[in-house]
Amino acid sequence: MPPKKTSPTGAGAAGTAVPAPESYNLMEHLEAENGALLLPPARVIIMSESAYTFLLKVIHEQSPHIVKYTFYDMGYRAGEQLMQTQTQRAKYPEMAFRYFVETYKQSGYGNVEVVSFDLSRPEAVLRGTNLFESDVAERAGIYRSPRTVDHYSRGMFAGFMSVLLGREMICEEMTCEFRGDPACEFLILPLEV
């Protein structure tokens, strides 16, 4: 498909045309061979929500105080790794970020949209509904008070952004469907001002 001409959106240098956003279709990338499922360059597995619920429950039973940090860190490393395979996209950070959000969504983590992406601050806001972690938290029944629970997701957003921008970024979940908010809202911002 010939590249579409678009006007710069601010992501590129002045006078440099920013390429059209890439579309992503998970099903076009999946490959199965010899008992392995591949989403190149990675091998992937299908993990049911039940299995993830067991993982959450077991960690909670062993060390309830580390749940939040364990899943954030796990997500952070996954996000870092994901961005490390996308280095050619780093030229256009917003496009790379939107592409990543689309892969996140199509991988079944939840329905997430980019509310804002401001490279000058730098800061990004995401809004999500139907996130698998909120669902799993409900199934696990380990929380006795309302709270934000999507730690793997916010870790992933922070890890991806940290590599993308070449500086330490963090992600806070400001509202969460699990505690009755209309949506989960994530704010990604630098660790240090």
Contacts with Zn ion, residue ranges (CB under 5 A): 134, 150, 176, 184
Query: CB of residue 113 vs Zn ion: minimum separation in angstroms?
Result: 14
Q: Report the residue number, 43 or 147, with the smaller CB distance to Zn ion.
A: 147
| In the block, residue with structure tokens 């992503």 | 24
3-state helix, strand, coil in the chain (%, to 5): 45, 20, 35
Nearer to Zn ion, 63 or 129 (CB): 129
Q: Among residues 89 and 105, whose Cβ is nearest to Zn ion? A: 105
* Residue number, 161 or 184, with CB nearest to Zn ion: 184
Least distance to Zn ion, CB of residue 133, Å: 7
E strand or H helix that includes residue 165:
helix 151-165
Nearest to 126 by CA among 80, 164, 84, 172: 172
3-state class (DSSP) for residue 1:
coil
Q: What are phi and psi of 129, to 5 degrees?
A: -130, 155
* CB 71, min distance to Zn ion, A: 12
Q: How far is the CB of 90 from Zn ion (least distance, A)?
A: 28
